[in-house]
Chains A and B, each alone.
Chain A
Amino acid sequence: MGFSITLDGAAHEVEILELRPRLKLRIDGRAYTVTGEQQEEDGRHRLEIDGRPVSFARVHVGARQALRIDGRTFEAVLVDPRDEADAAAAGHDHVRAPMPGAVIQVHKRVGEPVSRGETLLTIESMKLQMALAAPRDGVLAELKRGVGETFDKDEIVAELEPLDRAGD
């Protein structure tokens, strides 16, 4: 089993081969033995890779990790396969109402390009306002409900279409 880590935007697989007595990893077909991991007060870390000492600094910035190693800064992100799946599956064209209610504001016009996560509509239900966001990048193809109009739970209130198809 491997981990996918992006380093400065480029994805790499880091595979664990052995845990004890020494951690053994494989990256791009090369095996490395990692030993002597130490963390010091000031955030510096030390370890040995194949017996060669490596010193580096690391901080976590949200999901990112900033590393200073060998006079260079890297940014690393651990890729969760579900993130990719989400991105791929963000392919739903339908925006469904999560509960029955009414539209109180429309933020986008039909034909306007929208990015994933951008608010399309604000709805109100049970005295609760909620933003309905675009499930993926695309173009707003159809708004099935306008301001003041009501809908049921799971009803499709808006439809998207892919950016490239919009011109057809």
Chain B
Amino acid sequence: MSRFPFRKVLIANRGEIACRVERTLRDLGLASVAVHHAVEAGAPHVRGADEAVELRGATPVAAHLDIEQIVAAALRTGAEAIHPGYGFLSENARFAAAANDAGLVFVGPEAETIRLMGDKISAREFARAQGVPVAPSVTPTGDPEAFRRDAEAIGFPLLIKAAAGGGGKGMSIVRSPAELGEAARIAIGEAERYFHDGRIYAETYVERPRHIEVQVAGDGKGRAIHLHERECSVQRRFQKIIEETPAANLPPALREEICDSAVRLAAAARYRNLGTVEFILAPDGRFFFLEMNTRLQVEHPVTEMVTGLDLVQLQLEIAAGLGLTLRQGDVRVAGHAIECRVCAENADNGFLPETGVVRLLEAPSRPWLRFENALEVGLKVTADFDPMLAKLVTYGHSRDEAIDRSIAALRELTLLGVRTNIDYLGRALDHPAFRAGDLHTGFVAEHAAALAPRTPAPGALHAALIAAALGFREFRALANDAPEPYASIGPWRN
């Protein structure tokens, strides 16, 4: 008899995370339902599920954001729970509520918690109330003069953010009072455009900040634990590309203080299921609450690697009402794990997204590696979805070993047909500052020159040219089509 009150789970997501969730469902003996837009028919996450439902939508993204259709799909297929993955509807309180209203188990927190944490301003207020450090901030009230005065009181530089924001959209750094008005105006515009919510706020901008987050789990009744921290400081375009755990060079006392703050917050919120509390860590050791993500994180596998836990299983257990089966003392961390996000982008040109078709895929396979992906040869990489193609997660007994293994795995990873950041990731990991753990969110910008591709040594360069030459029809024709005896006589002149 299954210990789960549900036997079939609809995964309201796609790509690698849908495949990831399907895997745990299979391990637990639960059935899976995939959803997909027409353009994804036959995709790995569809094939990997026991059932699949096609969602209609003007765009593939719109289909994946269609709450009514997805809930209806769950009901129609007899699914009793919905796992939202990350992105799409995973932090949509309305979706969680709609699922609950339809009698479905939402694998995540209460809609109320999602709403609370989804609004950055209310989340900050909540955190402050729990004694979690929050960066000093001001919120525009409609009187620009007052806004400017309040801002000056906190001091510059300031970071302007959208209340409903995320992913760096609507964010800007303001270094002087003179820039404030214009920056706020632009931020409001962007916030309205992206989030349909023009509210913004400005907070103290920490120079050279590190991004430290804590994986928490709560039973919804006030008990919460943490599964340690992750460092996600290596970012481009305000999005993480390399994450690791444990964070490097973090004094144990500070680590504990940060993790305890996160647990305090989760407990106070009577947080149910898994979540992540994100912090900004200043070089001087001050840290500030950034936001709480009320869902599974992209980078959750690094935590799984060092704890030996299956985070999706934990999510399902809590959602099933089995409570928090772990105590804080049960959570042991061993070794080090690093995740590299393989993205379809041009790292040598502003990390702009790239499109193409996956023509060749060879992923390394080792006991200490996870290559989380939903790739296959022939897959069209379009601008329809996020440019992240896969995650390469590597375990090592030490941080150095994890780095070396990651670099080796990246070198072995072959994904051709669309430009990716694979080589860039390798260069980033190999940079002395990364190896030294000297990280901050400006890492990519600070080391841009050093991280640019190097001209290979003549031997390697010439080998590549020879390989290329032999691939061109015109070259091959010359190399192979010369008739005999001419070809054998060679470049003889009389």
Tell whether B463 is near chain A: CB-to-CB under 8 Å.
Answer: yes
Tell whether A23 is near chain B: CB-to-CB under 8 Å.
Answer: yes
Tell whether B423 is near chain A: CB-to-CB under 8 Å.
Answer: yes
Tell whether B38 is near chain A: CB-to-CB under 8 Å.
Answer: no
Tell whether A67 is near chain B: CB-to-CB under 8 Å.
Answer: yes
* With A14-B465, A42-B362, A65-B471 as contacts: A57 and B490 at CB distance below 8 Å: no
Tell whether B253 is near chain A: CB-to-CB under 8 Å.
Answer: no
Q: How far is the CA of A30 from the CA of B410 in the complex (A)?
A: 30
Contact mask A25-43 → B, CB, 8 Å, 1/0? 1011010101001000011
Residue of B nearest to A15 (CB): B469
Contact mask B415-454 → A, CB, 8 Å, 1/0? 0110110110010000000000000000000000000010
Instruction: Name the one of A17, A45, A56, A67 contacting B491, with C-beta atoms under 8 angstroms.
Output: A17
Tell whether B237 is near chain A: CB-to-CB under 8 Å.
Answer: no
* Contacting residues, chain A, for B356 (C-beta < 8 A): 61
CB atoms of B423 and A73 under 8 A apart: yes
CB atoms of B470 and A37 under 8 A apart: yes
Q: How far is the CA of A54 from the CA of B461 in the complex (A)?
A: 12
Contact mask A46-59 → B, CB, 8 Å, 1/0? 01010000101111
CB atoms of B411 and A27 under 8 A apart: no
* Contacting residues, chain B, for A45 (C-beta < 8 A): 467, 470
Tell whether B482 is near chain A: CB-to-CB under 8 Å.
Answer: yes
Interface 9-mer from A2-10, A94-102, A110-118, A145-153: A2-10
Tell whether A107 is near chain B: CB-to-CB under 8 Å.
Answer: no
CB atoms of A74 and B426 under 8 A apart: no
Tell whether A12 is near chain B: CB-to-CB under 8 Å.
Answer: yes
CB contacts under 8 Å to B, within A54-111, are 54, 56-61, 65-76, 78
* Contacting residues, chain B, for A127 (C-beta < 8 A): none
Instruction: Name the one of A23, A49, A74 contacting B468, with C-beta atoms under 8 angstroms.
Output: A74
CB atoms of B491 and A32 under 8 A apart: no
Q: Give the distance to chain A from B7, nearest Cβ to Cβ, in Å.
A: 40
Tell whether A19 is near chain B: CB-to-CB under 8 Å.
Answer: yes
Q: How far is the CA of A14 from the CA of B460 in the complex (A)?
A: 14
Q: How far is the CA of A155 from the CA of B484 in the complex (A)?
A: 52
Tell whether A154 is near chain B: CB-to-CB under 8 Å.
Answer: no
Instruction: Name the one of A10, A56, A59 contacting B417, with C-beta atoms under 8 angstroms.
Output: A59
Residue of B nearest to A9 (CB): B348
* Contacting residues, chain B, for A21 (C-beta < 8 A): 488
Q: How far is the CA of A59 from the CA of B377 in the complex (A)?
A: 12
CB atoms of B479 and A3 under 8 A apart: no
Q: Give the distance to chain A from B53, nearest Cβ to Cβ, in Å.
A: 34
CB atoms of B466 and A47 under 8 A apart: yes
Q: Give the distance to chain B from A106, nearest Cβ to Cβ, in Å.
A: 30
Instruction: Name the one of B357, B463, B479 contacting A69, with C-beta atoms under 8 angstroms.
Output: B463
CB atoms of A76 and B471 under 8 A apart: yes
Q: Give the distance to chain A from B284, nearest Cβ to Cβ, in Å.
A: 39
Tell whether A18 is near chain B: CB-to-CB under 8 Å.
Answer: yes
* Contacting residues, chain A, for B471 (C-beta < 8 A): 58, 60, 65, 67, 76
Tell whether A16 is near chain B: CB-to-CB under 8 Å.
Answer: yes
Task: Give the interface SS of chain A, mostly helix, strand, loop or mixed.
Answer: strand
A interface residue count range (under 10 / 10 to 19 / 20 to 34 / 35 or more): 35 or more
Q: How far is the CA of A58 from the CA of B472 in the complex (A)?
A: 11
Counting chain A CB atoms within 10 Å of each CB, which of B410, B417, B456, B463 scores highest?
B463
CB atoms of A16 and B416 under 8 A apart: no
* Contacting residues, chain B, for A10 (C-beta < 8 A): 455
Q: How far is the CA of A49 from the CA of B453 in the complex (A)?
A: 24
Q: Give the distance to chain A from B173, nearest Cβ to Cβ, in Å.
A: 32
Tell whether A165 is near chain B: CB-to-CB under 8 Å.
Answer: no
* With A27-B466, A66-B416 as contacts: A57 and B479 at CB distance below 8 Å: no
* With A8-B453, A66-B416, A67-B468 as contacts: A49 and B491 at CB distance below 8 Å: no
* Contacting residues, chain B, for A66 (C-beta < 8 A): 359, 416-417, 419
CB atoms of A32 and B462 under 8 A apart: yes
CB atoms of A32 and B468 under 8 A apart: no
* Contacting residues, chain A, for B469 (C-beta < 8 A): 3, 5, 14, 25
* Contacting residues, chain B, for A49 (C-beta < 8 A): 462-463, 466
Q: How far is the CA of A66 from the CA of B354 in the complex (A)?
A: 14
CB atoms of A32 and B417 under 8 A apart: no
Tell whether B1 is near chain A: CB-to-CB under 8 Å.
Answer: no
CB atoms of A30 and B458 under 8 A apart: yes
CB atoms of B475 and A78 under 8 A apart: yes
Contact mask B184-198 → A, CB, 8 Å, 1/0? 000000000000000
Q: Give the distance to chain A from B252, nearest Cβ to Cβ, in Å.
A: 36
CB contacts under 8 Å to A, within B350-386, are 356-357, 359-360, 362
6 further A-B pairs in the complex, CB-CB below 8 A; given A21-B488, A32-B462: A34-B470, A45-B467, A57-B360, A57-B414, A73-B416, A76-B472
Q: Which 8 A-B pairs have the closest CB atoms?
A: A71-B411, A76-B468, A59-B359, A59-B416, A19-B487, A66-B416, A68-B414, A78-B472
17 contacts between A and B (CB under 8 A): A7-B464, A7-B468, A19-B479, A19-B482, A19-B488, A44-B362, A45-B470, A49-B466, A58-B468, A58-B471, A61-B356, A70-B456, A70-B460, A71-B412, A72-B423, A72-B456, A73-B422
Q: Which residues of A contact B (CB under 8 A)?
A: 1, 3, 5, 7-8, 10, 12, 14, 16-21, 23, 25, 27-28, 30, 32, 34, 37, 42-45, 47, 49, 54, 56-61, 65-76, 78
